[in-house]
Amino acid sequence: MSTEILQMSEVLTDLVRGIPTGLETSPAAIATHGLAPQSGNMPLPVLTMDEPGFETNIELMMRYCREQHVQIAPHAKTPMSPALAQKLIDAGAWGASVANIQQAAVMLQHGIRKLIFANEVGGTKSGQRLGTLLAKYPEAECLVFADSRACLASLIEAGKVCDRPIAVLLELGAGRAGLRDQAQLDDLLAFAQQSEPFIHVKGIAVYEGSAEADSESEKVEKIKKLLSFGLASASAIKDRLNLEQVFFTAGGSSYFDLVCDAVHQHGDSRLTTILRSGAIFFFDHGVYEKALIGACKRNETLASMAAQQQTGFQPVLRVWAEVLANPEPGLYICSMGKRDVSHDLDLPRVCGLYREGRTVSTRADRFQVTQLNDQHAFIQSDEPMQIGDILEFGISHPCTCLDKWSFIYGIKNGSVVNAYQTYFG
């Protein structure tokens, strides 16, 4: 299925951020209007994604997965854009990961038929809602996490509603949800076996990123223990249940290299390993930039990729804002704030200054974002700026930036060429 099919046919007007007053267009026709955030012809703030950089990140991550002999189901919660999820699937992803029933509904409605439900469902009513959704898509393959008898009871209700077994991945954990030891796993597996034909155990899931420790080295060791436990459990389940295929899924966007290392050390080629890294395809100027530095210190393959200056992982998201005021020498107020950009881990970073569509400066060291209000950014700058100048900001943590926007504007050669709708609910 092409990404063009997934673009909504609705008319975009100035009710959507980024669309100039008087313009009516569709996502399919957005490229014909010459919109360019640095030129001033789009109302700001606006969120953009660099298309060539995104394609580079896709190629790099897919190549890494092929070389590591693992598959990937990128977490759709990062952009919540079916069109972007489909791009990743077209590039070789196994499917997509989702965190809840609404996200699954969005992906299924847009034609994505292989999902990892990377979370517990909840109570009986939620199980029934999941069953109602899956009943609409009998051909869909959906693997659902479970870490308790209560969760399996909910999935039994789902199976009854959709009249087919629910494919379950038993989740092990070390910081968030998930079973903590072998005794708990044995108990839950026994309960699952008693719950057929509504429950079919298909493998093991973990999320390593939530493992907490007092230092990074201790966290890495905790992650390694979790992965070892998970892989051994997956192999044991395959033998115990005599499964033709057993899944092992792990891997956010910070420690996926440790997952691949653990899989190789475990050495059971019978397992189907699926990473769930999603934010890595967008990368950033903050948390994942730092995470990749750590991963490169651990992994020569990633270090080699990152060393390719023109083709290494690239931060592709930008928020653009206009200078509104210069109330004090060196202090500038811009039209972007907490409602527009992520700020939970790092403040945004200035990447460029533009005036009348021309580049004035790309010296990031001359600018510092010191504070965000709801809709204003406070910038200390050694670079003189004028009212109406446009600033290009890099962001940290794609997940909490993208969820503020109903459309992501794809940029190529400085101009908008795509508009990707998001569905955060």
> Using one digit for the tens of pLDDT, what is the confidence trace for 119-155?
999 999 999 999 999 999 999 999 999 999 999 999 9
Is 349 a domain residue? Answer: yes
> Same structural domain for residues 14 and 145?
no
Residue where a domain terminates, one of 234, 257, 291: 291
| Distance, CA of 85 to CA of 94 (rounded, Å) | 11
CA distances to 259, 270, 310, 318, 366 from 17, rounded to whole Å, are 39, 49, 31, 14, 29
Residues 87 and 99 in one domain: yes
| CATH classification at residue 17 | 2.40.37.20
Whether 148 and 227 map to the same domain: the answer is: yes
Task: Indicate whether 282 and 351 sit together in one domain.
Answer: no
305 within domain boundaries: no
Same domain flag for 199 and 321: no
Query: Domain for residue 326, yes or no?
Result: yes
pLDDT of residue 6: 43
Average of per-residue pLDDT across 244-258: 96
The three-state secondary structure class of 302 is helix
Per-residue model confidence (pLDDT) at position 335:
98
Tell me, yes or no, whether 303 lies in a domain: no
> How many Cα atoms within 13 Å fall on the side-chain side of residue 334?
37
Domain boundaries, position 240: 53-291
Specify if 238 maps to a domain: yes
Contacts of 188 (CB under 8 A, 6+ apart): 146, 147, 148, 149, 152, 170, 179
Over residues 27-48, the pLDDT tens digits come to 999 999 999 999 999 999 999 9
Name the region of 111 (left: φ>0; alpha: ψ -120 to 50; beta: rest): left
Assign 301 a pLDDT band (cuts: 50, 70, 90): confident
* pLDDT tens-digit readout, 208-236: 999 989 999 999 999 999 999 999 999 99
Compute the distance between CA of residue 272 and CA of residue 414 in angstroms, rounded to an integer. Answer: 41
34 plus 58 within the same structural domain: no
Distance CA 165, CA 199 (A): 5
The full length of the chain comes to 425
The residue among 257, 291, 325 that closes a domain is 291
Whether residue 75 is found in the same domain as residue 126? yes
Give the pLDDT confidence score for residue 37 in this predicted structure.
Answer: 98
Does residue 397 share a domain with residue 267?
A: no
Q: ∠ CA 369-375-377 to the nearest 5 degrees? A: 15
pLDDT of 81 > 50? The answer is yes
Can you give the CATH number for the domain in which 228 is found? 3.20.20.10
Residues 259, 337, single domain; the answer is: no
Contact 108, 101 (CB under 8 A): no
pLDDT at position 7: 46
Is pLDDT above 80 for 306?
no
Q: Using an 8 Å Cβ cutoff, are 127 and 158 in contact?
A: yes
Output the average pLDDT for the chain. 95
Same domain, 121 and 139: yes
Are 323 and 190 within one domain?
Answer: no
* Structural domain count of the chain: 2
Predicted local distance difference test score (pLDDT) of residue 305: 77
Give the position of tokens 């460029």. Answer: 352
In a domain, 123, yes or no: yes
Give the model confidence (pLDDT) of 394-416 as tens digits.
Answer: 999 999 999 999 999 999 999 99
248 plus 179 within the same structural domain: yes
